[in-house]
Structure 1
Amino acid sequence: MDHQINRTNLFEKQQELQFSGSIHVRKSGKTISTEGFGYANRSDKIANQPHTRFSIASGSKIFTSIAICKLVEEGKLTFDTKIMDCLDIDFPHFDKDITIHHLLMHTSGVPDYFDEDEMDDYEMLWENVPMYRIRCVEDFLPMFQYEKMQDKVGSPFEYNNTGFIILGLVIESVSGMNFTDYIEQNIFQTVGMIGSGYFSMDELPESTSIGYIEKPDGTWKSNIYSLPAKGGPDGGAYVTATDMGIFWEALMNGKLLSEDMTRLLLTPQENVVEDIFYGYGGYMESNEQGVVKYIQMGYDPGVNYRAVYYPDQDLTIIVCSNHSEGAYEMLKEVERLIVNN
């Protein structure tokens, strides 16, 4: 297999899509390709670079999962721990039997604060709750704390953001640390993700892209009024594409979890559809021979993220975008150029 990318084809696809973002391809510790496209700041014509930071929305749920696994390894939790036993927060309508496992696997039945069956626009959430007030995990509580269960505990897989907010509350309660501090210290700093962090949208550091939403007339607006002021356990970390390549390499080399816990994190558990499964670490494509690839995705207004890791090839492909669309198509083009040849 030729692990080189035809840059002409890649740039043609970028032009076709008008893709804005960054791509990083890494194999066995070696960078195959790192590219930036479009603008991190459209007003000032500041270009996206390989070191540009991007929000990755739900792509950062895996950090929450790893934090839980670390606390389990330390003996501070088990996957069967009930949330009522580790949180001093009143959820009057929640089932008392909801466990950490249920939350990780999206089978808890808790009410999703962003129910995609009820609304198709994330911006609608902030009509009643000002997004500038959402800056820590507890700030999400009014959006679901007193709601009734969405389904029975142990119900089939149904993607759920609230479950990860609750996991963040558990991490804070058990570790005694602020959630974002815990992730930055125990994951980002541990593996050398020097460009990554949880940043407030009104206090972004240098080399951070602004998310853009295309308006019906073809002009653009930023997403500053479309997302929580600061991300949390269900999404919203800022990373560089290179850092995510470093992350996957570190995870697979045992720098974050023990060999047994890493294996458990990456084991298929719930069948989502056909050959797509879900485990503690997120989505994965699997067949009779085992996992073909691990899949990360994140979507928010002005944010689009896709990444895959092929364990048999030790191949990572990361695509970050500061537009609402385009990452999936660019990922597929890279796969076509490097994996499927």
Structure 2
Amino acid sequence: MPLGDLDKIAEDTGFSGVVQVDRAGEIEFAKAYGLANRAYGVPNTVDTRFGIASGGKGFTALTVLSLVHEGKLSLGTTARSLLGDDLPLIAGDVTVEHLLTHTSGIGDYLDEETDWEADDYVIGAVHELTTTEAFLPLLDGIPVKFKAGERFGYCNGGYVVLALLAERVSGEGYHDLVRSRVLRPADMTRTDFLRSDELPADAAVGYLEGGDRSNVLHLPVLANGDGGIHTTAGDMSKFWRALFASGDAELVTRPRHDVPEESLRYGLGFWLHQTSDTVILAGYDAGESFKSTHDPHTGTTITVLSNTSSGAWPIARALMS
């Protein structure tokens, strides 16, 4: 579609966010729309930082794989071997690979396979969820959904478990692991884990649909392994370039499962186009919507970030269809 048509879509949908198209490192289009903070009338800019919800799962996957390369984990490592007495309902045969590919079958604290609406979901005591260990009570006691390896079943809790396993084998906190193993090597200086109750001036407040209420009660106060890190369109272009310059690109983008209900495939932490080699990260949560795609053949990155729950989708569909 002509990039000039984006303004019309943005106006018609009330889009609040940033759109960027980067071809082989050259920015073809970059524009910000709407407000980062409605109370104070602060506009979004192309450098505004947005929460990306499940888009952060790709960062978790790469962090885990860095530990695999060091021999501290393997794809066949069982979760049980590191969990000890924690989360006893996770079966003994659930492996790191099962968790990465959403085939573990473990119960999910936030089950998106149900009739789930982002703005309606409220986590109790969000202010306590500042560490991975703090998630243990939230993850505990949820019945198993299916046997490990039986099928694909998208699982947020599985990626928090991955963060926990990474911490236990490395002796480092999850947030520092991502910073040192993913963000710094890619020179992603505008990406970090930001507390939702003390966002800096350059970060967009996330808003629920149909009003000016923020998402501060709806998400963990500090993002973890299943998503929510804050980033910019520019840093996402850096991310994709770094990934495809590394040896991990082939590993994470090899299709593991067809996901016909999404008309997509899945690798290790990354969605894959159904028929092409385009790689996708996407996220949807209260006050956050995000999609970033990368075509490794042309070097084209398209990123749409929004600080509303569904704002990114009309423009993403127009640009990425």
1:13 aligns with 2:13: no
Deviation per CA, 1:101-141, whole angstroms, max 9, x where unpaired?
100011111000012345523465546x2111111111211
Find the aligned partners of 1:58 and 1:6 in 2 and give their Cα distance.
29
C-alpha spacing 1:69/1:106, structure 2 compared with 1 (3 Å): same
Is the Cα–Cα contact under 8 Å of residues 118 and 284 in structure 2 kept in the other structure? no
TM-score by length of 2: 0.94
- State the number of aligned residues: 320
Question: What is aligned with 1:44?
Answer: 40
Deviation per CA, 1:47-66, whole angstroms, max 9, x where unpaired?
10011000000011000000
Deviation per CA, 1:15-63, whole angstroms, max 9, x where unpaired?
1111000112111111111111100001111110011000000011000
Find the aligned partners of 1:6 and 1:149 in 2 and give their Cα distance.
47
Question: What is aligned with 2:228?
Answer: 236
Is the Cα–Cα contact under 8 Å of residues 63 and 183 in structure 1 kept in the other structure? yes
Find the aligned partners of 1:119 and 1:196 in 2 and give their Cα distance.
31
Of residues 77, 90, 94 in structure 2, which corresponds to 1:94?
90
Cα offset for 1:301?
0.9
1:317 aligns with 2:302: yes
Question: What is aligned with 1:158?
Answer: 153
- Secondary structure of the structure 2 residue equivalent to 1:307: strand
* Equivalent AA in structure 2 for residue 243 of structure 1: D
Report which of the two structures shows the higher radius of gyration computed on alpha carbons.
1
Deviation per CA, 1:51-106, whole angstroms, max 9, x where unpaired?
10000000110000001111111111110111112333422222101100100011
TM-score by length of 1: 0.89
Unmatched 5+ stretches in structure 1? 337-341
Of residues 51, 64, 68 in structure 1, which corresponds to 2:64?
68
Is the Cα–Cα contact under 8 Å of residues 122 and 218 in structure 2 kept in the other structure? yes
Find the aligned partners of 1:237 and 1:118 in 2 and give their Cα distance.
24
Find the aligned partners of 2:168 and 2:120 in 1 and give their Cα distance.
30
**Identity percentage over the alignment?**
33
Is the Cα–Cα contact under 8 Å of residues 113 and 154 in structure 2 kept in the other structure? no
Of residues 261, 266, 288 in structure 2, which corresponds to 1:303?
288
Question: What is aligned with 1:294?
Answer: 279
Deviation per CA, 1:257-281, whole angstroms, max 9, x where unpaired?
xx2x321111011111175211103
Question: What is aligned with 1:264?
Answer: 251
Question: What is aligned with 2:315?
Answer: 330
1:169 aligns with 2:156: no
Question: What is aligned with 1:225?
Answer: 217
Question: What is aligned with 2:193?
Answer: 198
Unmatched 5+ stretches in structure 2? none
Superposition pairs of residues 111-126 of structure 1, within 5 angstroms? 111-118=107-114, 120-122=116-118, 126=122
- Secondary structure of the structure 2 residue equivalent to 1:304: strand
Is the Cα–Cα contact under 8 Å of residues 80 and 91 in structure 2 kept in the other structure? no
